[in-house]
Structures are given as structure tokens and as C-alpha cells.
Amino acid sequence: MELTGAQILMKALKEEGVDTIFGYPGGAAIDIYDELSRTDIRHILVRHEQGAVHAADSYARAGGKVGVCLVTSGPGATNTVTGIASANMDSIPIVVITGQVPSHLIGNDAFQEVDIVGITRPCTKHNYLVKNIEDLARTVKEAFYIAQTGRPGPVLIDIPKNIQTAKTLYNRQKPVALKSYRPTYDPNMKQLSKVIGLVMASERPVVFAGGGVILSKGSAELTEFAQRAQIPVTCSLMGLGAFPGTDPLWLGMPGMHGTYRANMSIGESDLIIAAGVRFDDRVTGKIETFAPKAKIVHIDIDPSSIHKNVQVAVPVVGDCKKSLGLLNHLLDKKNLKDIPGKRAAWLDQIRQWKETTPLAYHQKDTIKPQHVVKTLYELTKGEAIITTEVGQNQMWAAQYYHFDRPNHFITSGGLGVMGFGLPAAIGAQVACPDKLVIDIAGDGSIQMNIQEMATAVQYNLPVKIVILNNGYLGMVRQWQELFYDKCYSCTDMSHAPDFVKLAEAFGAVGLRATHPDEVIPVLTEGLASPQTVIMEFIVEREEGVYPMVPAGASITEMLLV
Amino acid sequence: MNEEKNVLSILVDNQPGVLSRIVGLFSGRGYNIESLCVAETAEAGISRITMVTKANKPVVEQIKKQLHKLINVMKVNDLTDTKYVQRELALIKVNAKPEHRAEILRIVDIFRCSVVDVGPDHYTLEVTGTEDKLAALCGLLKPIGIKEVVRTGNIAMCREVQ
């Protein structure tokens, strides 16, 4: 039987196991939406297309499935660009489906026409404009395959309106095999043997793990490797949770706002085993003086990540989970008895760094934002899924919430998108309905996608929003304080809505704490609520994130509290 | 580190937008394109792009990896340090006043080019060769007066291993 394009799309999505779509309808997507109403796929109607992409991104991270987003042409499509770029930087598997004006109007500046395939070419893993109805089913199959294999990433499919209504026979698609795309999963064993040789010889090794370990579901292998070889572990922002944040070998996050001991360890290390990281500038600081004494091993599924920012001694192209698993196999053949003795001095040095220079803040009679995050961690026993906005709130969340498991910290790492946290919390809550999901936000960034409160309330998603309100665009203000003679140009945000009333206006619960004594009661009440809750904390206005490595400095040159 | 010319031979799946992906990659990441030639290969649906790019070694490595990462790119061959044949075609329109015509034709003969268009005061020459040959020819014609030059950019093919 012949099916319409919209029907074929639904069938193809079902075959990929899609049960949830985040989206927003419009003229060029109306036929798809019409068909969607006759399926059992759940649609979450966001209030802005950017929110749909962030939600799909977070849904993918929390739920381990490809996130799907459906929007219309023109502005619907352009509104997805920030979310797509963020997913691209963070290697998150999502498929974005955009409606397009009818084929014969493409290029005519038709109403709500935009070349979204052209616009998103540099910020997707791949994208498609479907020109023939016969190609539609195959394209969807390929898109899902590309999105979730190799180094994952966003794939966009642009479907003109006439393709949505055209008819053809639908055939179940064969598995995808592309001549030009064959990611390398299996690492080279010779390279791995070299790695083990270095590990056995090293006196001051450090494991540096990133988002790639989480994406490959390799946390267990990573933890086993580090514990058996007694190697301290640091994780990039995207890697937080890949290694237990409560393990004695845990160093904390490295880089611009990394812990003292993580940055000093990298500075003094003689061997860095990096897995699933890309040596972002926020981690390396001044690249010339990054890990000056270390040989670097770099495991990554994307060959273009290797030697991109730092030159490495042993490159390993392959899947992180597989590679780390094989390293554990190789450890079986080694005598590890001498390892604890060999590492004692190194681990002792790290302990000293931790004792002399821990993460710190001075509690006064105003609420300290770090205290809020720390209390949140204690009250939730570290078990919540935390999403963040971007800026100081994000760094305090990364520093003071200790993640013991992967997929529990969801943040816009590479692109640094303000306004990410609330839609991300929605996506995570949809993926994990039984989990406690909390967005740690600032007063600036929460206002960037605050409209998604309506989405959360509409679908009874009990997400919790913790606003650390300092009345500033805090991170920029901190830079202005430190490096621009306290010229707070355009960062004063003290004119903000009443967040408690705003929560109530959306049909959610609003709570506020202005004094340190109120932190625990407000958090306790808010977290216990079955509703969507905004908890606003009026915090110390000019609190900074420390340690801080000034831009362009070596990561061992930290400004401390 | 020294920037050197590199000749890349890239096989691509001939999908719409593939050239745009490649050119966009170069502009987006700040790489250089010195010349670019695209045409179908003997195999239907597969095109070859011959590209000359100027960059230092680590950057060239990165360029090759980034190209390979594009879904429609099948193969990236760096011919630079291999044995290969390289050709470029140029059309050169030169001033051809009566007193220069004989000289121009002598040069045409030496360089084994041909005259493909003649007018009252110009010759249009067609020449094929390496970049060096084309440069030498242009050097000789310059004093006579070059009106216009159109070049195809390099194409290259690796030599069969004997």
C-alpha cells in the first residue's frame, strides 16, 4: 500500500524506537503533525524551538536514546540552531526534523523559507534535504545511524511539504552500511600494550576522562582501570560522573575552575591517560605549559581529536569502553603487587594538596551560592540528575555536587549555552520520570528560556529549579572584577522579575530564601513537592568562582579564595 | 613551522552539497585553499576533488582528518610526498601586435601550446603543464602583454608503483 511521506516518517521513527518527540508545529510541518496525532508517539509541546532541541539533547543523555525534535520551516528551523550547535560540541545524538516549504518554492524566498541545511552544515554531524519521497525512509534510517554511531552528534533532516504529502510504497529498510563512514571501534592492541608499559613504569600517572567515556558507557571500565592501577582520576566538565566523585582517587575537575589538586596533578604528572576528551582550552589553559612533564596517551573514537590541541605520545583511536576494557585485560597479565608502593608518594602528595588547598568559601551572614549547592548535594544524597545553565551556577554545580554515576550531570559544555538548564531538566525528567531532576540556574540564564516553565507545568513534570540570584551576570562580572578594573559594564541584572510570583503565574510553586538559615527549609520544602518548583536564593552578590585560572595562563597558576 | 603546498586527492560520494561541506570546513576552520578541481570519476556517483592547500604539517594532518570526518568523503589521499603526475590547463589571452606575432608563435612552439583563438590584436593560447611550466610561460609572455589568464587549478594522479 502506498503511504504518504508523513506516514512513512512516522513508521520510520517507530522502527527506530522513537516514543517521544520534542517539538513545535507550524505551516510547513502541519502534515507531519497531522499524522503524528494518529500515532502513540508522545509529543512534548515546548514554548520555543530552542527549548525543544535542548530537551531532546538532555533526553538523549539521561535516557540513553536518540533525542528527536520536530519543528517547522524558517524561524522554527533557525530557532533550533543554538541547540544543534550545542549538541554538536558535546557529541550528543539527536535527530532534528524540520519542515520545509514545497520543493518548487525552494530558492524563491517563499514565506518561512530558510536554507536550514546550509545554515546547519557546520554545526551538525550530517544533514539532509529530502528531495524525493523514495529517499525518505532511507534518509531517516541513515540519520539515526549516523547520530548514534562513532562520535555521536546531531543530524538534521529537512523535509519539504510536498514530500510530506507525496505517496510511495514503504519498505522496511535494511541496516545502514556507508562506504564513506566507518567509525573505528576496535583499538590497536599494540598501542594499548604501549599504554600498559607506560602505566607500569609511571610514578605520577593521572587519568583524564571526558564525555567520550560517558557516551561509550565506559564508566565501569574506567573505574576498574583506575582503581586497579591506582591512578588518580580527573574528569572534564562533560565527563563528571564517569568516575565516582566520592572515590579516594577522585581529583575533581581540572582547568579554569578546576580543583587545586587536579590542576597541580596535571602539572606534576609524568603520564596522562586521556580518554574521550578533546583538550578544550578551558581545560588546558596555556597550551605550551600544559602537563609539561607528562607523556600523554589519548584514547578517542574521533581521530581528528587526537593531536588537534596537544601532541600526544601514544594515540589510540577507538571506543573508550572497549579500549579501557582491553586495558583491564592487559592488566590481568601484569603483577600489580608493587603498584600501591610505587604510587604511595604520588597519592600522598595529592592528599596534601587536597588538605592544604581544598575547594573553599567563607560563610558569612549572606547566603553563599556554594553553600546552596553543597546543601542540595547533601539533601539529595548525590542522587539527583542535575542540569545547569551556564556561568557561575554551572561551575559551582560542577564543583560542589559530587557525581557518583554517569548521565546525572547534564550541562552545555562546549558551546556554553545560557538557557540550557530548564529545557534540559524537562528532557531529563521526560526520560527519567522517577528521578529527581534539578536545574541549577543563575538569575540571568534562567530568563533566557523561562518560557519553558509552561511546558514543565503542562506535562506535570516536577522539575526543581534552583536560582542562585546575585542580580548580576555573575561570570562576566567576575572577569570584570578581576581583569577589567571592576568596570561592571552591562552586567547588573538587579532588575529581574519576582521569581516566586513568576513561578505562581506559570502554575508552579515559588519559594525564596534570603538568609542562610532558610536554605535548608526552602530546599527541603521544594524538593518534597510533587510540583514544578522554583527555589530562589538571594545570594552574596559578588561571590566569585575559585580557583580560577586567568585566560591564557597555565593551569597551575590559580587565583585562590 | 613552514607552510608548504600540499596536494590532496579526495574521493567523495557525489551527494548534493558535498562541495559546500568541504569548502565550508576550510573557511570555518581557517584553512587555505590554493586551488580546487572537481569532476566525476570513472565510477558513477563518485567524484574526485583535487585540492592544493598551504599549511604546516600538523595543520595538514588536521585537515585530512577533518575531511575524512565528513560523512560524504570516502577517501583522502595526500599526494604531496609521493610520486605523482600533476597538470593544469590555462587559457592565456596575449596582446598580439604584428611585430610580436612571430615571437609569440615561437614561444607557443617551445612550450607546446596551441593557439585556440585569434583576433586583430590578440592570440588566445591553450597550455597544459605543471605549475612551473605555466609560470615560466607567463613570465615570457608578460613583457608582450597578457590581457587575461584563466586556469583550471591543479589535477593530480599518483603514479603506478612499478
Q: Closest Cα of chain B to A533: distance in Å?
A: 42
Q: Flag if A122 and B73 touch (Cβ within 8 Å).
A: no
B161 pLDDT exceeds 90? no
Give the tens place of pLDDT for each residue, B128-157: 999 899 999 999 999 999 999 999 999 999
The ipTM value here is: 0.92
- Which residues does chain A have within 8 Å of residue B24's beta carbon, measured at their own beta carbons? 121-122
Check if B4-78 and B85-158 are the same fold: yes
Q: Which of B1, B18, B69 to mutate to test the interface with A (most CBs of A within 10 A)?
A: B69
Report the SS3 class of residue B151: strand
Cβ distance of A303 and B17 shorter than 8 Å: no
Quickly state the pLDDT bin for A363 (edges 50, 70, 90): confident
Which chain B residues have a beta carbon less than 8 Å from that of A126? Answer: 71
**Half-sphere exposure (Cβ direction) of B69: Cα atoms closer than 13 Å:** 20
pLDDT value of residue A172: 85
Q: Could you give the CA distance from residue A31 to residue A553 in angstroms, rounded to a whole number?
A: 54
CATH number of this structure's domain B4-78: 3.30.70.260
Domains and CATH numbers, chain A: 2-169 (3.40.50.970), 189-356 (3.40.50.1220), 369-538 (3.40.50.970)
Reply yes or no on whether the pLDDT at A37 is more than 80. Answer: yes
Hey, are the CB atoms on A180 and B17 less than 8 Å from each other? no
In the prediction, which pLDDT does A171 show?
Answer: 87
Q: Domain map of chain B by residue range?
A: 4-78, 85-158
Q: Average model confidence (pLDDT) for chain B?
A: 94
Residue B93 has phi, psi (to 5 degrees) of -100, 115
Q: Is A122 in contact with B12 (Cβ distance < 8 A)? A: no
**A40 vs A203: CA distance, rounded Å:** 57
Chain A to chain B, count of Cβ pairs less than 8 Å apart? 40
Residue A94 to residue A143: CA distance in whole angstroms:
9
Whether residue B25 has pLDDT greater than 80: yes
Write down the pLDDT at residue A309: 95
B160 pLDDT band (50/70/90 cuts)? confident
Give B65's contacts in chain A (Cβ within 8 Å). Answer: 303-304
Does residue B162 surpass a pLDDT of 80?
no
pLDDT in tens, A64-99: 999 999 999 999 999 999 999 999 999 999 999 999
For residue A359, what is the DSSP state?
A: S
Q: Do B68 and A304 count as a contact with CB atoms less than 8 A apart?
A: yes
Residue of A nearest to B24 (CA): A122
Which of A126, A131, A304 is facing B66, going by the closest CB pair? A304
CB contact under 8 A, A304 and B71: no
- Give me the CATH code for the B85-158 domain, please: 3.30.70.1150
Q: Catalytic amino acids of A?
A: 49, 111-112, 161, 475
Q: In this complex, which of B12, B13, B69 lies closest to A304 when CB atoms are compared?
A: B69
Contact at CB, A303 and B68, closer than 8 angstroms: yes
Judged by CB atoms closer than 8 Å, whether chains meet at B71 and A146 is answered as yes
Whether the per-residue pLDDT at B109 is higher than 80: the answer is yes
pLDDT tens figures, A541-557 = 999 999 999 999 999 99
Contacts of B46 in chain A (CB under 8 A): none
Distance from the A310 Cα atom to the nearest Cα atom in chain B, whole angstroms: 10
- The residue of chain A nearest to residue B71, with distances taken between CA atoms, is A181
Query: Is the minimum CB–CB distance between A107 and chain B shorter than 8 Å?
Result: no
CA pair distance B94, B145, nearest whole angstrom: 6
**To 10 degrees, the CA torsion angle through B6, B11, B14, B15?**
-70
Amino acid at A212: G
CB–CB of B71 and A180 under 8 A?
yes
d(C-alpha A270, C-alpha A533), whole Å = 48
User: Over B50-104, what HEC string results?
Assistant: EEEEEECHHHHHHHHHHHHHCCCEEEEEECCCCCEEEEEEEEEEEECCHHHHHHH
Nearest Cα residue in chain A from B72: A180
Q: Which of A169-173, A312-316, A377-381 has the lowest mean pLDDT?
A: A169-173
Chain A residues with beta carbon closer than 8 angstroms to that of B66:
304
Measure in Å the smallest separation between the Cα of A289 and chain B Cα atoms. 19
Residue A516 contacts residue A367 (beta carbons within 8 Å): yes
